[in-house]
Amino acid sequence: MKRIANQWKDYECCDAGDGEKLERWQNILLRRPDPQAVWKKTDHAGWDRIHAHYHRSSRGGGSWEFKQTVPETWTVSYKELTFKVSPTGFKHTGLFPEQAVNWDWMQAKIRKAKANGRPVRILNLFAYTGGATMACASAGADEVVHVDASKGMVQWAKENMALSHLENRTIRFIVDDVLKFVAREKRRGHTYQGILMDPPSYGRGPNGEIWKLEDQINELVNACLDILDDDALFLLVNSYTTGFSSIVLENILRTTVLRRHPSGYVFAGEVGLPITQDNMILPCGIYGAWSDEDDEV
């Protein structure tokens, strides 16, 4: 299955190919590496009008080459949400626009649950700058708990909360190792109707804890089962790990969540962005989801 984020106005993947993508963020054109874009790019005029180009280094990492004046930060909006974006030193801009399709899915589930008088508490793990956090809060979740090991990313998420005018919603920001936090929530007896996670391939917690996706994803999903409410709406896993199949996520969810919540449904597939130039899809990662309803987008 494919989930395509095709509702953007402030973002556009204009073209892609030869290992790069050409993107419009509001009125700024960026050229960034993309290992999935192995086909030949076109002669789209935007390639020659870019504001900035990220070059990878043979020694690892990379740097931006600025062709035109680019503000240090600016904002883009998605429907009722507004986010800060910035060309960071590690290629990213602080937002993964393909995830908007998952935001829409979660928002629809939250709004339906609230209309039916159900409580909705959401846990966002590896929450980064909080795109999903703001989407869930905006949809009316009673509480959203945002957990990330990086103080800088949590601060960025707080800025996005202010930009989206969500200061009056109940959002808790936690800087912590996700496994340790989930274990504490179990001891406290806290449960959530929705849990989402975007685990990295490799990472470190705030106290040097090591995370490796292939070694710990099963442990994390099983730990989350202990705090997934009996009246749960969803559990969503995203992954950008190269070579990690969506079928792996499907199998993990079938052997964990579906066994504990057999009346639900499991979906898995790719997340992508439409490429304007040739009406193609740029693959941007994979997802696996357990849902209380057969509501795949």
Beta bridge partners, 282, equal 273
Q: How high is the pLDDT of residue 216?
A: 85
pLDDT tens digits, one per residue of 24-83:
999 999 999 999 999 999 999 999 999 999 998 877 788 999 999 999 999 999 999 999
Supply the mean pLDDT for the chain: 94
Q: CA 190, CA 207: separation in Å to the nearest integer? A: 24
Q: CA 227, CA 189: separation in Å to the nearest integer? A: 8
- The residue among 296, 242, 290, 287 whose CA lies nearest residue 98 is 287
What is the DSSP annotation of 127-140?
-TT-HHHHHHHHTT
123: its two tokens: 């846990």
Q: Is 24 left (phi over 0), alpha (psi -120 to 50) or beta?
A: beta
136: its two tokens: 């869930």
Q: Sketch out the chain's domains with CATH numbers.
A: 2-72 (2.60.40.1180), 97-291 (3.40.50.150)
CA 56, distance to chain mean position in Å, is 23
| R_g over Cα of the chain | 19
Q: CA 159, CA 137: separation in Å to the nearest integer? A: 14
pLDDT tens digits, one per residue of 169-223:
999 999 999 999 999 999 999 999 999 999 887 777 777 777 677 778 899 999 9
Q: Which residues contact 226 (CB under 8 A, 6 or more apart)?
A: 182, 186
- The backbone torsions φ and ψ at residue 35, rounded to the nearest 5 degrees and listed phi first, read -65, -20
**CA contacts within 13 A on the Cβ side of 53:** 11
pTM score, whole prediction: 0.94
